[in-house]
Every structure is written in structure tokens, then in C-alpha cells.
Amino acid sequence: MFRVPFDNAVTEKRFVTAMQKRLLEMERRQTFWEIRECSRQTNRSHALIMKTSSMIHDVRM
């Protein structure tokens, strides 16, 4: 980890805040995609369950 020379503490604080904001934004985006992927899989399995139950229903008729 290299250290960036800062002329004063204010600039350093601003830099750190910017980095934290960027990290938070990345985390939020990552979570968004994970949730979206998760819901896609849930929909897929739900469709599979519906198909299977209709097959079972057809066999019983």
C-alpha cells in the first residue's frame, strides 16, 4: 500500500470520503445484481414447480 502525499488533512479527508462513497456504490450495485439473479432463479424454479404440478394433475385425470 503506497501513501499519496497530501498537502493538508482536509484534502486527505475528502479523498478518503470519496473512496468510501465509491466502495459503497460498488457494494450497492453488486447487491442489486445478486438480488436480481436470485429472483430470476426463484422465478425459474417457481415455473418448474407449476409445470410439474400440472403434469401430476394430468396423470391423475
Kindly report, residue by residue over 26-38, the tens digit of the pLDDT: 888 888 888 888 8
Under 8 Å between Cβ of 15 and 6: yes
- pLDDT given for residue 6 in this prediction: 58
Average pLDDT for residues 4-9, to the nearest whole number? 64
- pLDDT given for residue 7 in this prediction: 65
* pTM: predicted TM-score of the whole model, two decimal places: 0.42
Indicate the pLDDT class of residue 3, thresholds 50, 70 and 90: low
- pLDDT given for residue 42 in this prediction: 84
User: How many residues are listed for the chain in this entry?
Assistant: 61
Dihedral Cα 44, 48, 54, 59, nearest 10 deg: 170
